[in-house]
Amino acid sequence: MMEANVNEPNRAASRTQAGAQSAARGKTQRVLRKLLLSEYFVLYLSIVYFLVLWPFIPRIASPQNLGNIFSNMWPLLAVAIGQTFVLIVAGIDLSQPSIMALVSVVGAAVMTTQLDPVLFEKSPLWGVVFTEAGGPLAGSFLAVPVAIFAMLLVGALIGWFNGTAVARLKMPPFMVTLVGMMFFSAFAIYLVKSENIIHLPESYVLLGQGQISFIPYSFFIVGALAIAAQWLLSRTVLARWFYAVGTNMRTATVSGVPVVRVIVLAYMLSGVFAAVGSVFYSARLAAGRPTLGATLLLDVVGATVIGGTSLFGGKGKIMWTVFGVLFFVLLDNSLNLLNLSYFWVQIVKGSVILMAAALDVARTRLLARG
């Protein structure tokens, strides 16, 4: 520390003072540094954000609002977990929202119990898949399980398609999934001519709205999936392959890592997890909606990246994504409580993401300095 107090007449006093100051500063700096570099940084950030807002918006801590935040997390987390896999292999999946929309329509089409001919007569599925009396499994006890299975299957298929284009045909992930986003969301709208499919079975709707005391079902299911995903990403052979492919694909290839299979698997997981998210979102809406998730892309990528998963590949953890999602849901919730207009919400959200990105750069630089 070069405390230049040379001009001060009372040198000794000022020196001790400066020494105490710099010692204190050194300590705060160390604590700040530790916080900034901690794995739990985003969790701390969320807590601080919450505590700072509490006096201004007391409603934020009401039991009902806390319940809201808690139940809003899990569907978004499901989708973000899928994104995490893809980011780790140095890809990106922009098609997730369109997967959510398409599988929401597919699932609803299978299990709906009644359709309005005025709305759906023009649909290409009319008379082929569904009629006035609903979907092919309308009223069957198999309707819900088969519908969910179909949703996951379609998610996996689109993921397989994306992954194959990226890994085997060496197309840039950004292009592949951007075009996928256009194609599949348009396709979902085309299938039902922009109409929502309602009259879904009660047991399905319960999946999105049901609770055990105040804990939503989605917590148990997505929570279990998150733990499974974390296990897959830390303990297994696949885990190490994911990170190897994301860090340096050429080294991975020479080392006998099945690079193509690993990348395809990452995109399939992304599709399946997007479908899981879609199950909960459309159950909550009690409808199959062809525009479901249309505004979610930024939330998903933003939450995952804020959590600490790198856009350049090779770095990421499910736990980080959990924190990122928590922060994002909290942000969204607080902006809603402030009664801001949609535009303001978007502006603030955008600024926060940008700040988070800047913080990430700062963290990376600190880490590099060792």
Partner 1 sequence: MSDVILSFENIEKSFFGVRVLKEITLGVPRGKVLGLVGENGAGKSTLMNLMGGVHAPDGGQMLLDSKPYAPRTPSDANDAGIAFIHQELNLFTNLSIAENIFIDGFPRMRWLPLLNRRHMRARTQQFLDAVELDVAPDTLVEKLSPGERQLAEIAKALSFDARIIIFDEPTTSLTARETERLFRLIDRLRSDGASIIYISHILPDVLRLADEIAVLRDGELVAHGQTSEFTINRMISLMVGRAIEQLYPERSAAPTATPVLEVQGVSQRGIVEAIDFTLHKGEILGVFGLMGSGRSELARILFGLDDHERGQISVAGKPYARPSARRSIDAGMAFVTENRRDEGLLMDISIAENIGLVALPHYAAASAGAVKEGRYYDQIGGVAESLAIKSGNIRQQAVKTLSGGNQQKTVIGKWLLDKPSVLIVDEPTRGVDVGAKYEIYSILNDLAADGAGILFISSELEELMGVCDRMLVMSNGEIQAVFDRSAFDKERILRAAFRENG
The CA R_g of the chain, rounded to the nearest whole Å, is 24
Number of other residues whose CB lies within 10 A of the CB of residue 33: 12
Instruction: Identify whether the C-beta of residue 333 lies closer than 8 Å to the C-beta of residue 50.
Output: no
Measured from the CB atom, is 251 or 351 closer to partner 1? 251
Identify the DSSP state of 289. Answer: -
The least distance separating partner 1 from the CB of residue 243, rounded to whole angstroms, comes to: 7
Residues that bind partner 1 (CB under 8 A): 231-232, 235-238, 240-241, 243-244, 247-248, 250-258, 314-315, 370
* Residue for token pair 């089409």: 109
Residue 296 CA: distances (Å) to CA of 41, 94, 101: 24, 10, 11
* Residue for token pair 């590099």: 368
Give which of 356, 262, 256, 339 is closest to 302, Cα–Cα: 356
The least distance separating partner 1 from the CB of residue 237, rounded to whole angstroms, comes to: 5
Measured from the CB atom, is 246 or 288 closer to partner 1? 246
Measured from the CB atom, is 193 or 240 closer to partner 1? 240
Helix axis angle, 202-209 to 259-285, nearest 10°: 100
Q: How would you class 66 by CB atoms within 10 Å of its CB: exposed for 0-12, middle for 13-18, buried for 19 or more?
A: middle
Give which of 94, 129, 185, 151 is closest to 280, Cα–Cα: 151
Measured from the CB atom, is 169 or 368 closer to partner 1? 368
DSSP-assigned letters across all residues of 41-85? HHHHHHHHHHHHHTTT-GGGGSHHHHHHHHHHHHHHHHHHHHHHH
The least distance separating partner 1 from the CB of residue 236, rounded to whole angstroms, comes to: 6
The least distance separating partner 1 from the CB of residue 239, rounded to whole angstroms, comes to: 8
Measured from the CB atom, is 211 or 251 closer to partner 1? 251
The least distance separating partner 1 from the CB of residue 268, rounded to whole angstroms, comes to: 13
Measured from the CB atom, is 315 or 349 closer to partner 1? 315
User: CA-based angle 124:126:129, to the nearest 5?
Assistant: 95
Measured from the CB atom, is 37 or 355 closer to partner 1? 37
The least distance separating partner 1 from the CB of residue 362, rounded to whole angstroms, comes to: 18
Instruction: Identify whether the C-beta of residue 282 lies closer than 8 Å to the C-beta of residue 292.
Output: yes
Measured from the CB atom, is 108 or 264 closer to partner 1? 264
The least distance separating partner 1 from the CB of residue 370, rounded to whole angstroms, comes to: 7
The least distance separating partner 1 from the CB of residue 259, rounded to whole angstroms, comes to: 9
The least distance separating partner 1 from the CB of residue 79, rounded to whole angstroms, comes to: 22
User: CA-based angle 95:317:177, to the nearest 5?
Assistant: 15
State phi, psi for 134 to the nearest 5 degrees.
95, -165
Measured from the CB atom, is 239 or 338 closer to partner 1? 239
Measured from the CB atom, is 199 or 261 closer to partner 1? 261
Number of other residues whose CB lies within 10 A of the CB of residue 360: 19
The least distance separating partner 1 from the CB of residue 256, rounded to whole angstroms, comes to: 4
Sign of the alpha-carbon torsion through 259, 161, 109, 71: positive
